[in-house]
Structures are given as structure tokens and as C-alpha cells.
Amino acid sequence: MQSEIPLYPEQASNFAANVDALMVYITLICVFFAVAVTAAIIFFFFKYRRKDPAEVGVPIHGDMRLETAWIAVPLFLALTMFGWGAVVYVDYRRAPLDTLDIYVIGKQWMWKVQQPTGLREINELHVPVGRDVKLILASEDVIHDFSVPAFRVKMDVVPGHYNTMWFRPTKAGRYHFFCQQYCGTNHAIMGGWVTVMEPTEYSAWLSGSSDASANPIVAGEKLFVEKACTTCHLSNGTGRAPSLNGLYGGNVLLADGSTVTADDAYVRESILNPQAKIVAGYQPLMPSFQGQLTEEQIIDLTSYIKSLQSQPAPAKGGGVAPSMGKK
Amino acid sequence: MSTTPAAVNQMPREHYLNATYGIRSWLLTTDHKRIALLYLASVTFFFFIGGAFATMIRIHLLTPKGLLVTPETYNKLFTMHGVAMIFFFLIPSIPAVLGNFLLPIMIGAKDLAFPKINLLSWYIYLVGGCFVLYSFSTGGLDTGWTFYTPLSSVYSNSAVTPAVLGVFINGFSSILTGLNFIVTVHTMRAPGMTWFRLPLFVWAQYATSIIFILGTPVIAITLLLAGMERMFHLGFFNPQLGGDPILFQHLFWFYSHPAVYIMILPAMGVISEIIPTFARKPIFGYSFIAGSSIAIAVIGFFVWAHHMFLTGESTYAALTFSLLSYLVAIPSAVKVFNWASTLYKGSISYDTPMLYALGFIGLFLIGGLTGLFLACLGLDIHLHDTYFVIAHFHYIMVGGAVMGYVGGLHYWWPKITGKLYPEFLARVAAVTLFLGFNLTFFPQFILGYLGMPRRYASYPPEFQVLNVMSTAGASILALGYLLPMIYLTWSMRYGAVAGPNPWPATGLEWQTASPPLTENFDVTPEVTWEPYDFDNRPDLGLDVKGAPSLAHGTD
Amino acid sequence: MHRTGELYEQYRTMEQQRETASLGMWIFLSTEVLFFGGLFMTYTLNRSTYPDIFSEASKTIKLSWGAINTVVLIGSSLTMAMAVWASQAGRKKALTWFLIATLVLGTVFLGIKSIEYHDKYVEHHIPGWNFQFEPGADAATNAHTQLFFSLYFGMTGLHALHMIIGAGLLIWLVKESVKGRFTPEYNTPVENIGLYWHFVDIVWIFLFPLLYLIDRH
């Protein structure tokens, strides 16, 4: 196990071994050059020590072949480092399609985690081993960063839009997570624990402590009525605004002729900045809810709207948002 | 002319230090050499301030829960340490002290192109400094030196506005210095001083000045916008009002990344002067070293978003910036190889400046190589905002830039003061600095890989051993800095008289008296020799064997 | 202190002095390009995020004042160019009059600018100062239009500040030219301040369409 002064954290995700290998690769190259140059310098330092106070060195002005060599070789090695790192990063930035989506909200100075069933955790994140997990990150105030060293992953949590990150835990256990972007007074204690469990344990934990009133879909439905969304977004498609049945996950045709996928970000933007994208065939009438909803409430509304995707979409004609079918 | 210190040397009767007396003659001087000393005093003052904060930080981090201060105060300590050190010490240090003093003399001019603007630069620096000191003393600043929004523009309760104004004002000091240097190098060179006869220190200052003039205005406007956002509740960077916090980061880093090259290029220039002098031979690859300075300045403008790989920026942007970040490393590598090669078949003396130069190379090597880890996208995911980053930049800024600065001070101390510092004590200090530095910062690489985040006032207990090692090193490092401050000051009064060219070295500055006249040269020099050409300088009194120099290769 | 037109100590020849001053002004102007550039970049990004809002907000700025100011400023650049010519041709009286004309036109520009600012004050369009875009505008509209006006005041304000500095420099030029200091052999300040004035004019040429001419048909 770990020695008295460990050199690296546990490897607990799909990325960890690759990242550590990359680290070893770059370290070896750097150690090689550092040792080579240092050894040369030390060697010259002693071998060419000045023997006479008036002695002069041998003037050598340069050597084109050497210059070319020590530009070309480091350049080539740099490109290999770049390439390997790029592969890991591109993989990291492109989450797989079938993920367990968990919402994570950062605010000064705590983390609120919401599991798919609506179960909420504070400063804790439970995930099943062997499953691709995607975290959708939102901030209620300043920039934070959700970081799990044992997984070798982190991502900034920026107010104003969602960031996502993904990983697949490979080893059950408890691992630190930290806030990794300075966010004010209690930045250093804004952390917690990721608990990785066997899949059956995870399901059991999830259902065992579920709480009906915490169900985001229920909470979202309440908000949908409270905020008078039902006034325009009639489900039969005859309202001033498109019906949201069947919306989530599909493509939406916009007034300017472009199409957009109705994902979490689109739903959030439509609530906070509705003028940004107007659906084809509709007027820009929707007021903005900027400043009237917390990130959690937006997540609840999104969960509710997501649940409507399996509702029957209104029949064609009469004020229906033209949908181009599901992805 | 004899060059051994044993021969009797006398201080020149009249020189720039005693030409006029009184406080007005200093505060209203337009002599670039006096202005350099004014800067020396003020940057040293800010070095003490930043150093005091660093000391408190390291003591505080001896225990996991934090030994010394509350989290709020700790956050102020690291912020103010960064602001003081970066903007008021490191950025001005070599350019405004050594650059101001040496640039005109090295090119054979009587002064810079715009001496009054030079003085104005110093006053602007002071005004900026006053604003920042005001901020420090009225509640302090806790946003981090990076002032990320919306924390700095909306949420922080500390004295942000005066600090932001202070840094903004200080920027104009940099801009005017850069402007002065560029114009001086273009129009004020003595007859015969062609571009490729310029000392490499001048090339380094020139490259640095390009960054000064093109980068600093951008941070000026950025801080202005952030300050206005805070004062008038505007919304450029506040998402609640439709703004974008990431825009701030782009604008901020557009300057602040090239700023790190502002901090290192001049130090590299110093090393390029010291090594030929103490190896007594021309630098290996002059044109490559000169060209690499320009390359670093130019490419350095195109890598800023490597500080933002994890903000959610587009993957294409990340790939581009990572690739460019690797490219900017190559010219630095070229310099290191050329410096090392200069030692081959040299006649190497172990004088203090040489020790600093070699220490620089060792520490810059580690600092620069660790940059390759951070430029690597896959690794940066893990290393971003950890102590690995802190170790990386301190290796370069402290192990590199500050060692270059202190080494340069030692090298040109005889020229500036006319006196020699005590050599034995100086060597002890150099070695102390080197060892103390490594003990302070190397453990931080490991801390970073283990995941310890930066800017943490407290940390999980498993990180304690490495933190204690780091603090132990810091105490040795502090000693390494205190020693030169003491003996350099002592030498101004009691040091041995240096004479015009104690080392000896080949540059034009060593053709003047030590200390020089106010007008540097009584007759405008005409330059007919190549730089670092010990073989063709019989006036230095060295034992040139008369053998023809090896092929002039590839200048 | 030196009289205008004398050889300063650090230079070897008047030729060197002239070249140095000229290069200094060009380099200074390049820093100004980067300074305004950051602001222009912020404007561009915000405008592409909120094109409709910017269009709406821009329409509340009186086009006529902006257009008059553009003509005024271009005119002042013309008179400045004539002043430089006059100094090179040794026409001392013409030089003084052209400088005065430039100063007058610059002052007219600033006068019109203050009228515009006053209008914005009356309409509650000054960010951070009881800002209200229109009676009944909601919080989001106010926030987004305030972005436009912040940039409007920031950009035109910074420009106006440069004009005021330019006016100060012109006053000094008028004084010196009345004393007869500028000759065909020595007219460096006229040339360099002319460069500065033209630069400030060019900034306005960009500002005007960006701020006043969004979506106007």
C-alpha cells in the first residue's frame, strides 16, 4: 500500500492508470534531460576550472548541427507528450452516451449533490463502481472546482452555465474530493467524500433513503405551476408557447432556421434568457426568470421537463413546436 | 591595465553618485543610473513585504488545521504575497533596476531616449504602490492575485478596489519603461554597435519590452473594467447581469501569461552575460540565444488559455493552446543547451555570479521542465490548481528570476557602487539559497500530485510531512536572502575598491569607470569588436595565446 | 529646463532627437491600440451574445449628434494635417490658426459629447445610477441594456479623456507656435501631436458605427 510519504494517490477511476503512466513518461524524459544537462555542467565546471588568473577559454561560436539537433529532438518529444495528453483529454471531455447523471451544485462553501432519483446529499457523493458517471456542475455564486484526486479528474464550476465531467470508478472505497478553485473564506474546507459502492449496494442505498418530497420531478412540477409556466406552455400545443411534451432530448427548429438539441443547457438558457433562441412559429413573448430561481430550482424544473419526454407529443397543427424527432 | 584586485584601485573622483548632492537631486534626477537605484530601494521594500507574507504562510502551514491565522487572514496573506511580489517586485526588478542602469551604457549612449519619462515611470510605480499599500492596510485583499470574477467584482468583502486601481496605475510604469527601452535600442546605439554586436542582456530587455508595451495595456483595461464592475455594479463579468466570468479570465491571462516571460527573459539576459565573462569565452550560439528571446516574447502571446483548460473552454481551443505551450518551451531549451555548451573548454572561475548563473540553470531546468507536465492536457486535469503549479512557478520565478536578479546585482555591483562585495560570504549565501530553495519547493511537486489544492488555509493531515519539509526549507531560503542584503549594504561603505573592470568582462559598461560618470562616457565610443570576444581584446590584459579562434561558425 | 527646439543632452544630433521622438510616439500609439483593443473585444463579444438588446439600446442614442461629431472630428484631423504642413512650409501664422481651428473643433466635439451624456442622464441610461432602460422594463432587460451602456460610456469616455489630453497638448502647441518655435527644421512636436490626434480620430471612426449604427436602416 502507500508508503510513509506516498508519491501518488490511489488509482480509483478509469483515467487514473493512464494519467499516472503519462506522468511517468514525461518524468522520465524530463529526468533524462535534467540529469544530462546537470551532469554536463558539473563535469565542465570541474574539468575546465580556471588554472591561471589570466587564462582565457577556447572561443567556439556555435554549431549548426548541434542547434538543429537540440531543437528537433525536444520538439519531437514535446509532440509525443502533447499527443498522449491530448488523447486523454479529448476522451475526458467527451462523456459516453449512457451515463448515470448526477447534479452537483457548488455554493460558498458547500456542495449539494442530487442523485437521479432526487435523493440529495451534502458534501458527499455516492456512486456505483464500474458505471460511467457524469456530473453536471452548476454554481450558485462564484467559480468553484470539483476535484477528485484519486480519480485524476476535476472541472471548474462556473456560474452562468453548466460544465460536465465524467469518470468510471474502478475501485470501491472512500476518496477525498476538494474544491479546487479559490472561492473565498472557507475554500479550504469546502470538500467531502466520494463513496464508491458495489452496484447492488448503491441501488439499495439509493432506494432505501428516498424521500418523496425530495423527488425533483415532483418539486419541478410544483414550480412549473407556481411560476405560471402552464399559462403559455399548454400540453396540448394550443398555447402561446410550445408544449414541452416530448421535448427533452429531441431537436428543436428555431426561428432563424437552425436547429438545437433540447438538453439541460438549452432548458436552462430558455428559462433564464428566453430571447436567445426563439422556436420557429412562436413569438418572443417569454419573460426571463433570471434572479428568480436558484440553480436547484432550475434543476428541478429540468427534471420535470425531462419526465415529459415520454408524454405524448401534441398532434400536428395548431401551435405545436415543430420537432425533428429524437436523437 | 591590470585586472587583479590586488593592484591598487582608486575610486574615481567624480561619478554619478557624488556629482550632485541633496534629496532633490535624487528625487528629481533624470540620470538613468540614479533612477535605477530609486527602483532598487522600492522593489526591495516590496520584496520585504511579499517575503513577510510568505514567511507567515509557511509558518501557518506547519499544521493541518493552520497554525497562525484565521482562514480569512490566510487568504489575504497569499493574495497580498502574490500582488506585492509579482507586480511590485518581480516585474520591475531586473528591467527597472539593472535594465535602467545598464542599457544606455551597454549600447554606448549617455542616457535612455526619454530620461524624464523614465523618472515619471518611477513615480507612477510609487503611486500604484501607495494604492496597493492602502488596500493592504485597510482590511487587505483576499481575491487571489488573479482577481477572478465574480469573486473579486461582486462577492469579496475586502479592499479590492484600491488594489485593482494600484495595479492598474502600476501598469503604466511598465508601459513607459518598455517604450523607453525599445526606442533607446533603436535610435541611441553608438556608432559601430550593430544589432548583432549588442550584448545579449540588451536583446533580452528588448524582447521583454515588446511584451511590456503590447501586453500591459490589456490588463490595464481588464482591471479597469473589473474595478468599475465592482464600484458601479455593472455586469461585464457577472452572470447575474448577463456577463461572463470566463471573459475576465481570457482578458486577464492575455497579459498575465506573457507577464511571466517579462519576469524570466531579463534574468536569462543576465545569465547570458555572466557565463561568457566567467568562462572567458564567447557565448555558444549568440544568434540562437538572441532569436530565442524574441521567439519566447512572440509565441508567449499565444498560449494564455493554458490556464483555462478546465473552465469548460472548447476542446479545440484546449488542443491549440496545449500545442503552442509546448512550442514556447523549445526556445528556452535552446538557451539552456547553449549556456551549458559555453562552459565546454572555458576557463571557469567560481566567482559568485557564476554560482548564481549555474544555480539559475539548475533551478530553471526543473521549473521549465515541469511546465511540460502542465502543458500536457491529460496531466493538467489532475494537476491544475494543485501545489504542483505552485512549485512550478516558484522554481521559475524564484529559482530563476530572483536568482538571476541577485546574481546580476552581484555581477554589476562593482560597476554600480565601485566596490567589491565579500566573495567568501557571497558564495556561502549563493549555496544556501540554492539548497534552501530546493528544500522549500521540491516537496510541493509531490504534494501537488497527491492532490493538495492551492490556496488552502488548512489541509488533510496526510499532507503534513511534506508541508513541514517545505517550511524548513523556507527558513534556510530566508537566510540566503538576508545575507546578501546585509553584506551588499556593508560593502557600499567598507568593500574593497573595484576598479573599472574587476572580472574582467568585454562589454562597453566595463570600459567606464566604476562607478561611471553621470554622462557615462566622456567621448562617444566607437564599437569595432564582437561581443564576448576575449581573444581580440588585448586591453583586458589576459593571456590570449595568439592562436587563431576556431571557425566563427554560425553567428 | 530646455527650450523647445534645443538639442537634449542624451542625443548626439537633432536628427537622432527627431527620429527618437517620432518612434516614441508610434510605439505609444501601439500601446493605445492594445488598450482600446481590450475594450473593443469586450464589446464585440457582448454584442454577439445580445444582438437584439444592443440594437434596441443603440437606437436610443441620438444619431444626429454622433454624425455631427464625426464630421467635426474628421474636420479637426484635416486642420491638424494642415497645421503640420504649415509648420513644414514655415508658414507660422497659418500654423497657429490651423492649430486653433483644431482646438476649437475638438472642443465642439467635447461639447456635443456632454450634451449626449446629459441626455443619457435624463433618460436614466447611466449604468449604476438609477438605471432604467424603459419604464416597465424587467430586470433582465435592464441588466443587458446596462451592459451596452456600460460599454458605451466606457468606450466614449475613454475616447473623450484622450481628446481632453489632446486638447491640452494643442493649447501648449498654440502657445509655442505663437512664440515662433516651430520651423521647417524643427517641428517635431507638431508632427507627433498630429499623429496622436489622428489616432484619436481613428478610434472615433470605429466607435461611431459600432455604437450608433447598429441595425439602422
Q: What is the DSSP string of C61-112?
A: S-HHHHHHHHHHHHHHHHHHHHHHHHHHHT-HHHHHHHHHHHHHHHHHHHHH
Instruction: Please indicate whether, in this complex, the C-beta atoms of C138 and A288 are within 8 angstroms of each other.
Output: yes
Among chain C residues, the shortest Cα distance to B521 is held by C10
Helix, coil or strand: residue B451:
coil
Task: Please tell me which chains touch C, using 3 or more CB pairs under 8 Å as the contact test.
Answer: A, B
Residue partners of B290: CB distance under 8 A and separation at least 6: B196, B198, B200, B203
Show me where the domains of chain B are located. 29-540
State how far residue C58 is from chain A, nearest Cα, in angstroms: 18
Region of B284 on the Ramachandran plot (φ > 0 left; ψ -120 to 50 alpha; else beta):
beta
A288 touches chain C (CB under 8 A): yes
**Confidence check: pLDDT of C125 > 70:** yes
How many beta-carbon pairs below 8 A join chains A and C?
A: 15
pLDDT tens digits, one per residue of C44-71: 999 998 888 899 999 999 999 999 999 9
Whole-angstrom distance, CA of residue A53 vs CA of residue B349: 9
Topology of the domain comprising A1-47+95-210 = Immunoglobulin-like (2.60.40)
Number of Cβ within a 10 Å radius of residue A105: 22
**Interchain contact A33–B (C-beta under 8 A):** yes
Contact B376 A93 (CB under 8 A): no
- All chains having 3 or more CB pairs closer than 8 angstroms to chain B: A, C
pLDDT, chain A, mean = 89
Cβ contact A41:A104 at 8 Å:
no
CB neighbours of residue B542 within 10 Å: 18
C-chain residues within 8 Å CB-CB of A254?
none
User: Within 13 Å, how many C-alpha atoms sit on residue C187's CB side?
Assistant: 24
Task: Spell out which residues of chain B touch residue C39, defining contact as CB-CB under 8 Å.
Answer: 221, 225
Nearest-Cα distance to chain C for B288, in Å, is 26
- Tell me which residue in A48, A81, A92 faces B347 most closely, judged by beta carbons: A48
pLDDT of residue B415: 96
Distance CA C166, CA C195 (A): 11
* A276 vs B: CB within 8 A: no
B contact residues 58-117, partner C, Cβ 8 Å cutoff: 104, 109-115
B376 touches chain C (CB under 8 A): no
C3-59 pLDDT, tens per residue? 777 888 899 999 999 999 999 999 999 999 999 999 999 999 999 988 888 999 999
pLDDT at B506 over 60: yes
Q: Do A291 and C139 touch (CB under 8 A)?
A: yes
What gap in Å lies between CA C173 and CA C170, rounded to an integer? 5
What's the pLDDT at C143?
A: 86
Q: For residue A212, is pLDDT > 80?
A: no
A185 vs B71, B281, B381: nearest CB = B71
Mean pLDDT for B356-376 is 97
Residues of chain A with C-beta less than 8 angstroms from the C-beta of C137: none
* Other CB atoms within 10 Å distance of the CB of residue B361: 22
Residue B8 pLDDT grade (very low, low, confident, very high; cuts 50, 70, 90): low
Contact call for residues C4 and C113 (beta carbons, < 8 A): no
| Domain containing residue C70 | 36-212
Q: What is the pLDDT of residues A263-317, one digit of tens each?
A: 999 999 999 888 888 999 898 888 888 888 888 899 999 999 988 877 777 765 5
**Residue A184: which of B156, B282, B460 has the nearest Cβ?**
B156
Per-residue pLDDT reduced to its tens digit, B415-454: 999 999 999 999 999 999 999 999 999 999 999 999 999 9
Listed by number, the residues of chain A in 149-188 with a beta carbon closer than 8 Å to a beta carbon of chain C are: none
The Cα–Cα gap between B138 and B133 comes to 9
Contact C35 B225 (CB under 8 A): no
The structural domain count of chain C equals 1
The DSSP bridge partners found for residue A124 are A193
Task: Report the residue of chain A nearest C49, measured CA to CA.
Answer: A276
Asked if pLDDT for residue B548 goes beyond 70, the answer is no
Could you give the percent of chain B with pLDDT greater than 90?
A: 92
Q: Is pLDDT above 90 for A13? A: yes
Mean pLDDT of B475-503: 95
Other C-beta atoms closer than 10 Å to the C-beta of C19 total 18
Q: Which of B285, B446, B450 is the closest to A149 by Cβ? A: B450
Cβ atoms of residues B277 and B533 within 8 Å? no
A288 CA: distance to closest CA in chain C (Å): 6
For residues A120 and B92, the model is more confident at: B92
**Chain C partners within 8 Å of B240 (Cβ):** 143
Nearest CA of chain A to the CA of C204: how many Å? 30
Q: What is the CATH number of domain A215-326?
A: 1.10.760.10
Taking contacts as CB-CB distances below 8 angstroms, the residues of chain A near C52 are 275
Q: Where are the domains of chain A?
A: 1-47+95-210, 215-326
Beta-bridged to residue A111, according to DSSP, are A106
Which residue has 408524454 as its cell numbers? A311
Q: Which of residues 63-82 of A touch B (CB under 8 A)?
A: 63-64, 66-67, 70-71, 74-75, 78-79, 81-82
pLDDT at B1 over 70: no
* Residue C126: DSSP 8-state: S
A290 touches chain C (CB under 8 A): yes
Are A288 and C140 in contact (CB < 8 Å)?
yes
Q: Determine how many CB atoms are found less than 10 A away from the CB of residue B203.
A: 25
Residue A93 is placed in which grid cell? 471531455
Residue A71 to chain B, least CA–CA distance (Å): 7
Contact C31 B217 (CB under 8 A): yes
Tens digit of each residue's pLDDT (9 = 90 or more) over B241-281: 889 999 999 999 999 999 999 999 999 999 999 999 999 99
Task: Reply yes or no on whether the pLDDT at C190 is more than 90.
Answer: yes
CA distance B119 to chain A (A): 38
Q: Which of A180-184, B484-488, B532-536, C82-86 has the lowest mean pLDDT?
A: B532-536
Closest-CA distance, A291 to chain C, in angstroms, reads 8
| Nearest Cβ partner for A290 among C52, C53, C139 | C139
pLDDT of residue A5: 65
Contacts with C147 from chain A: Cβ below 8 Å: none
B452-479 pLDDT tens trace: 999 999 999 999 999 999 999 999 999 9
In single-letter form, the type of residue at position B153 comes to S
> In chain B, which residues have their Cβ closer than 8 Å to the Cβ of A87?
378
Q: Is beta strand A153-157 parallel, antiparallel or unpaired with respect to A323-326?
A: unpaired
Residues pairing with C210 in the sheet: none
Question: Do residues A223 and A301 touch, judged by C-beta distance below 8 A?
Answer: yes
Cell numbers for B287, please give them.
544568434
Residue A2 has a pLDDT of 44
C-alpha cell at B364: 530553471
Distance CA A165, CA A168 (A): 11
What pLDDT does residue B350 have?
Answer: 95
- A and B: number of Cβ contacts within 8 A: 315
Q: What's the rounded Cα separation, in Å, for the pair A168 and A179? A: 20
Strand pairing report for A192-197 and A124-128: parallel
Q: What pLDDT is stored for residue A210 in this prediction?
A: 54
Please judge whether B361 and A41 are an interchain contact, meaning their C-beta atoms are less than 8 angstroms apart. yes
Answer whether B234 sits within 8 Å of C127, measured CB to CB: yes
**Among candidate residues B371, B392, B310, the one with its CA nearest the CA of residue A82:** B371
Distance, CA of B153 to CA of B143 (rounded, Å): 9
Tell me the CATH number at C61.
1.20.120.80
Out of C52, C53, C140, closest to residue A290 by CB: C140
Q: Which residue of A has its CA nearest to C51?
A: A276
Distance (Å) from the alpha carbon of C121 to chain A's nearest alpha carbon? 26
Dihedral angle of Cα C66, C72, C75, C76, to the nearest 10 degrees: -110
Say which CATH topology domain B29-540 has.
Answer: Cytochrome C Oxidase; Chain A (1.20.210)
CA pair distance C166, C200, nearest whole angstrom: 8
Please give the mean pLDDT across all residues of chain C.
93
Contact by Cβ (8 Å): B339, B285: no
Q: Min CA distance, B345 vs chain C (Å)? A: 41
Instruction: Give residue-wise pLDDT tens across range B143-201.
Output: 999 999 999 999 999 999 999 999 999 999 999 999 999 999 999 999 999 999 999 99
Count other Cβ atoms within 10 Å, centred on residue A316. Answer: 9
**Which residues in chain C are closer than 8 Å to A290, comparing Cβ atoms?**
139-140, 143
Q: Can you tell me which residue has the cell 457524469?
A: A134
Residue written as grid cell 475554500: A187
Chain A nearest-CA distance from C52, in A, is 9
Question: In one letter, which amino acid is B104?
Answer: P
Are the C-beta atoms of residues B185 and B206 closer than 8 Å to each other? yes
Chain A residue with minimum CA distance to C137: A287
Q: How far apart are CA A235 and CA C195, in angstroms?
A: 65
The answer, yes or no, to whether residue B549 has pLDDT greater than 90, is no
pLDDT (tens digit, 9 = 90+) per residue, B316-353?
999 999 999 999 999 999 999 999 999 999 999 999 99
Interface confidence (ipTM) of the complex? 0.92
Is the pLDDT confidence value at B20 over 50? yes
Q: Taking CB atoms and an 8 Å limit, are B244 and C146 in contact across chains?
A: no
Average pLDDT, chain B: 94
Q: Which residues of B252-261 are buried (b: 16+ CB within 10 A; e: fewer)?
A: bbbbbbbbbb
Measure the CA–CA gap between B220 and B203, rounded to whole angstroms. 26
Instruction: Please indicate whether, in this complex, the C-beta atoms of C139 and A287 are within 8 angstroms of each other.
Output: no
Please state, in angstroms and as integers, the Cα–Cα distance from residue A123 to each residue in A107, A126, B474, C66, C136, following that order.
11, 10, 34, 56, 42
- Per the structure block, which three cell numbers stand in for A101? 447523471
Per-residue confidence at A209, pLDDT binned at 50, 70, 90? low
